[in-house]
Amino acid sequence: MALLRTPRSTWVEAGLRALADGGPDAVRVEALAEALGVTKGGFYGQFSDRQEMLTEMLDTWAADVVDQVIGDVEAHGGDARARLAQLFSIARSRGQGLMKIELAIRDWARRDPIAAERLRQVDARRMEYMRSLFAELCHDEREVEARCLLVFSLFIGTNFVAVEHRGMTRDEVLEDALQQLLR
């Protein structure tokens, strides 16, 4: 009879959920094993230690928010404006679960040099991709950089702003702001 093991990816997904809900201190082997309904011995059948899983969590997150997104945008095709619109659409549709993970990683990176370096790498790849697209719309490097920073700030920063928008929804205001950047 074959022994069924909980796959690495299941541990990583559970770790990312725990991170989103409680930060890096919530990513504990015992708690994850309990949440998955398995023994913690199963964890050590997949990972040598907690740090290995934390690293794989960062790798998984990076692949999801950069490689997968860029691949989806490029598969959609079109000119730079169409690809930027697709990028914005994907970013807006990713859901609160992924944004909770994003914000938890940003918070974690404030205290952990490994998470901070990985976040810098992810943000650099995101910015480089947006620069390549905005450079097709405008030729002023300063304007390209400003547009990229504004887009990035809209998607991350809007989660920290607690304000009513005079009869408009947050999504409507975000859409209007993004349309301004595509002009």
Where do the structural domains in the chain lie, given as residue ranges?
57-181
| pLDDT tens-digit series, residues 145-160 | 999 999 999 999 988 8
What is the pLDDT confidence band of residue 2, given thresholds at 50, 70 and 90? very low
Tell the CATH superfamily of the 57-181 domain.
Answer: Tetracycline Repressor, domain 2 (1.10.357.10)
pLDDT at 5: 83
Average confidence (pLDDT) over 137-143: 96
* Spatial distance between the Cα atoms of 95 and 23, rounded to a whole number of angstroms: 18
Q: Which residue type, as a one-letter code, is found at position 131?
A: R
Furthest CA-CA distance within the chain: 66
What is the pLDDT confidence band of residue 177, given thresholds at 50, 70 and 90? very high
Joined together, the tokens standing for residue 88 give 């914005």
Q: Which pTM does this prediction carry?
A: 0.91
